[in-house]
């Protein structure tokens, strides 16, 4: 009996313990279920919704770049893209072979496609080719039954209507590299492009725009079931340039096969109407993706098509620098209009002999005639008396030896040497002969084509500190036909009017007097009369034996050993409006290679300005916005107005 009671009590205790454990377990389970389903309900509902609904970023349209008249020079166009959905194509190899019958699909592209297919899920489309033309699209569409899983998608891509003409100026866009990833979601989109060079790079943030958003429903494997909502991106902001697209294209074509740079600017507003570097590249190719063959061609071309020569090319300015030396001497009181120098073809300094380009010499010349005929001996004499530091001070006033501030990447500052510069950089003292060489724009002196245009504009506008402007003002309505600020509102450079008048008379004689070195390239329309200065800069030293036996002509030398040809000018001569600089690499003489280009581009500048004024329904602006010079002052006559000159020039 007692045993039965003990057994009962033992059973009861075990039952209670077991029951209590079950109650505790179920209580914990119930509590956990309550916590998950009630307390954490919102959180898990959100997680489930995130697994079912994906947010996808949509690339915005890139902003458009316009010229001064509203012509698009960088825009967007439809991009027909060929894609394949692997799960819909039973035999990828066979499908690719069939596609290759209608469009070009080389082995490298096939390998890329197969690699992407292996990495992605079967329902994720893989791009075969982009930027298909209408003929290729038609071929694919007609043969769709033979191409299972192959589809045409329509997107947007960048287009540069001017092609090579504005390539260095506008730049191009390209795919985002790993180094350029900054955490911004837009940059991670496979098809997104950013500015890589030129204006596209400078204004990349403005042109990008803001991304849109698409909500899509997906299943457990990530397949898109349907689109729930969509908000398109915000198109990027526009950029307007001071460039005239038509003039830009004309200048590029006029240079032909030359390796050259042309810059045209307004002498008072600083508006750059054309800035061309040739040869160039196709910016549309960079957007599509440059092939190895094309990239190799660009890099191996000795004429450097990837270099923007207008702002990064640094050249000895040659005789175009003589205006700087003349102004420095006039301001220092070391010469005047009646002072003359006898040129016998060379001067001697110590044991060194410095030659004039004209072997027999120019005879007795004054300042006007020295500019007119580009007499080196005259400027050797001025440079010897001036010294390099006074020449450098004038050069800096005219915008040389420092970046012009155009606002594009990689602009070079050029070089205007001084005594202190040589001692600091080279550890050597300045030599007298180096001043003579600098006096004709050789030696250490370097300038970019843009700087030469600025120098010419400052001489033309009466000595006012005009700066080049490439970008139209933002945040305001800009009228390219509106009169620019008067030259008098610009800062003065501190150069006397008389000195500037004398130099400008010499420049007028260069192009318009019978003995001028650029006489053959004058503009015959009197209203557009051009004043300029030729220049030829040597790229190799002429030996003594070669001088004795006769200097080899440029056209008989290898291209790389030919002299650079330069020409700077402004027009109209009586009331300056535009300035131009032309540099032709290894072009030979400035009068032969550079001046004709400048003449044709300057004429086209006036023609286009008149057409634009007529289209705007107003009279063409009177060109006299820079301080006008008396027409009587520009009557140098056959000898430059002061007699005594001998011989014609070809410099």
- Give the predicted TM-score (pTM) of the model: 0.82
Helices (H), 240-333: 245-255, 283-288, 292-300, 309-312, 322-331
Report the C-alpha gap between 170 and 154 in whole angstroms: 25
Regarding beta strands 531-537 and 172-175, do their DSSP bridges make them parallel or antiparallel, or are they unpaired?
A: unpaired
The mean pLDDT of the chain is: 84
Give the pLDDT of residue 645: 33
Mean pLDDT over 208-217 rounds to 74
Q: How confident is the model at residue 256 (pLDDT cuts 50, 70, 90)?
A: very high
CATH topology of domain 56-240: Penicillin-binding protein 2a (Domain 2) (3.90.1310)
Mean pLDDT over 536-543 rounds to 73
Mean pLDDT over 502-513 rounds to 97
> Which architecture, in CATH terms, is 245-289+313-633?
3-Layer(aba) Sandwich (3.40)
Q: Which residue out of 319, 499, 537, 591 is catalytically annotated? A: 319
Give the pLDDT of residue 51: 55
Report the C-alpha gap between 406 and 403 in whole angstroms: 8
Q: How confident is the model at residue 572 (pLDDT cuts 50, 70, 90)?
A: very high
Query: Is 50 exceeded by the pLDDT of residue 47?
Result: no
Residues of the chain within CATH 3.40.710.10 domain(s) are: 245-289+313-633
* Cα 629–Cα 630–Cα 631 angle in degrees, nearest 5: 110
Report the C-alpha gap between 165 and 248 in whole angstroms: 6
State yes or no: is 319 an active-site residue: yes
Residues of the chain within CATH 3.90.1310.10 domain(s) are: 56-240
**223, burial (CB in 10 Å: exposed 0-12, middle 13-18, buried 19+):** middle
Q: What is the pLDDT of residues 334-347, one digit of tens each?
A: 999 999 999 999 99
Q: How confident is the model at residue 26 (pLDDT cuts 50, 70, 90)?
A: confident
Phi, psi of 459 (to 5 degrees): -70, -40
Give the pLDDT of residue 161: 95
Give the pLDDT of residue 647: 33
Can you spell out the DSSP letters for 380-443?
HHHHHHH-HHHHHHHHHHTT-SS------TT----B---HHHHHHHHS----HHHHHHHHTT-T
Mean pLDDT over 644-651 rounds to 36
């Amino acid at each position: 009996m007692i045993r039965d009671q003990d057994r009962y009590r033992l059973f009861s205790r075990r039952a209670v313990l077991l029951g209590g454990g079950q109650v505790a377990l179920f209580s914990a389970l119930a509590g956990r279920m309550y916590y998950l389903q009630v307390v954490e309900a919102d959180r898990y509902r959100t997680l489930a919704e995130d697994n079912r609904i994906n947010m996808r970023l949509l690339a915005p349209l890139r902003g458009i770049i316009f010229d001064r008249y509203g012509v698009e020079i960088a825009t967007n166009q439809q991009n027909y893209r060929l894609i394949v959905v692997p799960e819909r194509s039973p035999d990828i190899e066979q499908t690719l072979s069939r596609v290759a019958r209608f469009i070009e699909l080389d082995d490298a592209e096939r390998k890329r496609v197969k690699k992407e297919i292996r990495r992605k899920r079967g329902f994720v489309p893989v791009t075969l080719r982009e930027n298909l033309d209408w003929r290729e699209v038609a071929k694919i569409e007609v043969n769709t039954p033979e191409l299972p899983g192959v589809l045409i998608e329509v997107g947007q891509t960048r287009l540069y209507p001017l092609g090579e003409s504005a390539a260095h100026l506008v730049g191009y866009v390209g795919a985002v590299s790993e180094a350029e990833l900054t955490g911004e979601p837009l940059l991670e989109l496979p098809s997104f492009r950013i500015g890589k060079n030129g204006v596209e790079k400078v204004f990349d943030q403005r042109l990008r725009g803001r991304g849109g958003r698409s909500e899509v429903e997906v299943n457990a494997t990530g397949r898109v079931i349907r689109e729930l909502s969509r908000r398109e991106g915000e198109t990027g902001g526009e950029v307007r340039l001071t460039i005239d697209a038509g003039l830009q294209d004309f200048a590029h074509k006029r240079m032909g096969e030359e390796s050259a740079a042309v810059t045209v600017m307004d002498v008072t507003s600083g508006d750059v109407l054309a800035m061309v570097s040739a040869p160039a590249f196709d910016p549309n190719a960079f957007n599509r993706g440059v092939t190895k063959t094309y990239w190799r061609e660009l890099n191996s071309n000795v004429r450097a098509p990837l270099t923007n020569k207008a702002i990064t090319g640094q050249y000895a300015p040659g005789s175009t620098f003589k205006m700087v030396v003349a102004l420095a001497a006039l301001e220092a009181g070391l010469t005047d209009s009646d002072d003359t120098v006898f040129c016998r073809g060379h001067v001697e300094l110590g044991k060194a002999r410095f030659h004039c380009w004209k072997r027999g010499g120019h005879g007795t010349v004054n300042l006007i005639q020295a500019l007119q005929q580009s007499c080196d001996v005259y400027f050797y004499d001025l440079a010897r008396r001036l010294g390099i530091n006074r020449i450098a001070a004038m050069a800096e006033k005219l915008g040389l030896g420092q970046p012009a501030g155009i606002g594009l990447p990689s602009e070079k500052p050029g070089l205007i040497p001084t005594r202190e510069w040589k001692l600091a950089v080279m550890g050597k003292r300045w030599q007298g002969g180096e001043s003579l060489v600098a006096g004709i724009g050789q030696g250490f002196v370097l300038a970019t084509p843009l700087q030469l245009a600025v120098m010419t504009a400052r001489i033309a506008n009466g000595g006012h500190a005009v700066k080049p402007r490439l970008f139209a003002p933002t945040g305001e309505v800009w009228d390219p036909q509106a009169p620019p600020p008067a030259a008098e509102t610009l800062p003065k450079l501190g150069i006397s009017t008389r000195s500037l008048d004398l130099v400008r008379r010499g420049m007028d004689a260069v192009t318009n007097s019978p003995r001028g070195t650029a006489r053959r390239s004058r503009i015959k329309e009197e209203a557009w009369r051009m004043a300029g200065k030729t220049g030829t800069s040597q790229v190799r030293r002429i030996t003594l034996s070669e001088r004795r036996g006769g200097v080899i002509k440029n056209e008989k030398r290898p291209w790389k050993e030919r002299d650079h040809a330069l020409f700077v000018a402004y027009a109209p001569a009586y009331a300056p409006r535009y300035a131009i600089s032309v540099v032709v690499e290894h072009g030979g003489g400035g009068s032969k290679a550079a001046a004709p280009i400048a003449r044709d581009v300057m004429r086209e500048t006036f023609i286009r300005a008149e057409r634009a004024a007529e289209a705007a329904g107003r009279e063409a602006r009177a060109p006299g916005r820079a301080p006008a010079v008396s027409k009587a002052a520009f009557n140098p006559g056959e000898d430059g107005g002061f007699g005594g000159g001998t011989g014609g020039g070809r410099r």
